[in-house]
Structure 1
Amino acid sequence: MQVTETLNEGLKRGYKMILSAKDLDEKVNAKLKEAQPDIEIKGFRKGKVPLPLLKKQFGQRVLGEAMQESVDDAMKAHFEAKGERPAFEPDVKMANQDWKEGDDVEIVLSYEALPAIPDVDLKSLKLERLVAKADDAAVDEALKNLAENAQDFKDRKKGSKSKDGDQVVIDFVGKVDGEAFDGGSAEDYPLVIGSGSFIPGFEEQLVGVKVEEVKAVTVTFPEAYQAAHLAGKEAVFDCTVKAVKEPVAAEINDELAQKYGAEDLAALKTQISERLEMEYAGAARAILKRHVLDQLDEKVSFDLPPSMVDAEAKQIAHQLWHEENPDVQGHDHPEIDVTEEHTKLAERRVRLGLLLAELGQKAEVQVSDAEMTQAVMNQARQYPGHEREFFEFVQKNPQMRQQLRAPIFEDKVIDYVVELAEVTDKELSKEELEKAIEAMNDE
């Protein structure tokens, strides 16, 4: 196939390919001869059908196959010879739309080439890795939070009125049109005001009640209430208050530890310390990763495929718009303008994405099947009861698999870079680590 370059500007490429009618005809004949031994037509023995008859009967179909194969082979040979890879699927069009059998085939090929990525001396990177330990104060604070979450209730002073967050122990009888209804009565029911466990408007009316007080609570059942015979109807609940209790944090002792699955308080403290240090390590890694990317971004410069930058900028603009307009769930919204800031961020992401891909390829970084399975399992937990459907969706969706694979690959490349870089550990407090995270997020 004859190939002529028509465009070479930056990373944009254009070529005109001409497949001669003679070469195409020879390819058709070759494919027919290859299939001839297996073809049987009425009036001819198997394998003895004349080539002209085969060409008349199957020529058009084989012609299309031969043309597609010729173009595919020419493109493959072209990319191998040029040593280039397209940023996106190349645009391939037939130039002579009025083509008829016997004419040469003129193909127009255009694409944006991926740039050549310069080498980076990873050993020249100087990184600081933050290390924070879980001190006694942090463990005590976490214990206090656990105790508050495992709160108990104790009787308020005699004659005290209930407040939001208190627990009231009540007997109640619910009536609709003066008649009690099934499931509308209970005795010694412990209700936490503000818990939202009762019909909307019920709990708020119990704020300010005292022990032995009788309170008539009037509410209207929601229109979509599960019991159809009560939906939308007004009900009156006669409530007798038997106790008013205020919330108190549970005592920090072995009993609290056992509530959280630990053998005793010492074991719970150890678990908390380990969990906190895992959280600190995760935060410190996020900062280290940002420093790695910042330094790599400073060290490399190369042309970027415009289409990749444009697509990334549009995605960034779209994502930020939805973050600023959380009430809009779908895509029925005005066109979102791409700003210079969006484009600048897109250029950084594309540049670093291409660089990390190159580093990972050279280092032969692989994402194992086990790592992919774990990623799918983690994602599937977001769809309780539908895990099987999610697994099947991932199996059938290459794009989704790539979305799950990409962050794993990136993290492994970051690990590879850190291994080669000069890394200095710096110990700091939890508060200093939090400030470092805030500073990173504000950038």
Structure 2
Amino acid sequence: MKMNVKKAGLLAAASILAANQLVAQAPAVNDVKPFAPESEYRTWSIGVHGGLLNQSNLIGIRRRFDKVEHNFGYGVYVKRQILPGFGIQAEYLGGKVAGAYKDNNNSFETKLPWSVALSAHVTLANINWRHHQGLIKPYLNVGLGALAFEPTTEINGVTRTYDSTTELFVPAGLGLKFAVAPDINIDLGYRMSLVQSTAFDGVRGGGSKDIFSYAHAGVEFALGNKSKPFLANSNPVSGMQKEYTAQYDELVAQREAQREALEAQQAANAKMQSQIERLYADLGDDDGDGVANRYDKCPDTPENTKVDGAGCPLPEPKTPVVQQVVVTEEDRRVVDEAIQNLEFDLGKATIRPSSHASLNKVAALLIEKNFSLKLAGHTDNTGSMQTNMRLSKDRAEAVKAYLVSKGANPSRIEATGYGPSQPIASNNTAEGRQQNRRVEFTLY
């Protein structure tokens, strides 16, 4: 728990330091008139945050496991601001949630490989009659999303891990954003998520839906042209005041500006006349190559010679040399031997040492003839699709990594996992399943 709190604290400190650095480099932001079109603002932003996940909640809903355990969580979101006080936010959250009983050793730990949600985000203090730019901005958000969770329970000394499950959930939260710059906010928030399942903690049965909470700190950055204001940090009242002040100043200075403009125009006309006369003198083209003498770095170019922008002859194009790749029967024999000798530890992507000798020959072949190689991992249909897809990909990547470690060019090796989707024999027999567990090598 102390380590998770430390991680969350370090992430918050790093976010604030990064924001301060960007504030020091922030350029000037243009003012926008009232009722300006949306294109005058930056309406997209991205945020990152980290914090603590646990099974507690602030509204006192009963928990099955009554001992709170804190774990590190992290997330990223993209927000589309529609009005100064309202936006739509798409968010990813990952981490794990855990808990236990106070009076025994029963506990659970639920991993969150991923969760995505779409939420309405309401900012409560953007319209401010006292300050041009409010520093503290309270907000509320609520939405709907889907999450994958993988619970593991230890009940009465028996540990059980359940398959990954995907369910809908409802996130709702509140927080404070600190506008440390026109386009940067420090984000401190708290959120409760209502999972549409009673098995989030691994204990299935009746009762209320499971809830978990997330307290976080992070940074939000506006995207787009830095000269435009960030709509989420924009105060419409300030924009109106600046517009009226600018109009008044413009009227006061109008008469003086007209007089100065007339004098400046007369001077500019005289200067332009002088420049035009000099330009005509510099536009001669003695060698007729289409480049004026003033800019011609290669004078006296022969007639009908193609030249570049500096007036110099263009180089003659070279005919590309196409290298033909020929795979011999001996090359195929080396690859076939590697396929036959390739063995992995059971259920893993670890290559056994007995396979190294034949793989070394393949690596030497790739180095010598500069071949390209496609590695295709396959499995039988035993186990879940997700596990098989991951295992087939990992085994193909393991072969690639070994060949690269022996000097092969990684850019010429492609590793792909197909799981059980391309069997070459029946999965109804042990022999067929053995044939289907393979890594195919294709030279080209």
Shared fold, TM over 0.5: no
Higher strand share: 2
Q: TM-score, normalised by structure 1?
A: 0.18
Q: Which has the higher helix share?
A: 1
Structure showing greater radius of gyration is 1
What's the TM-score once normalised by structure 2's chain length? 0.18
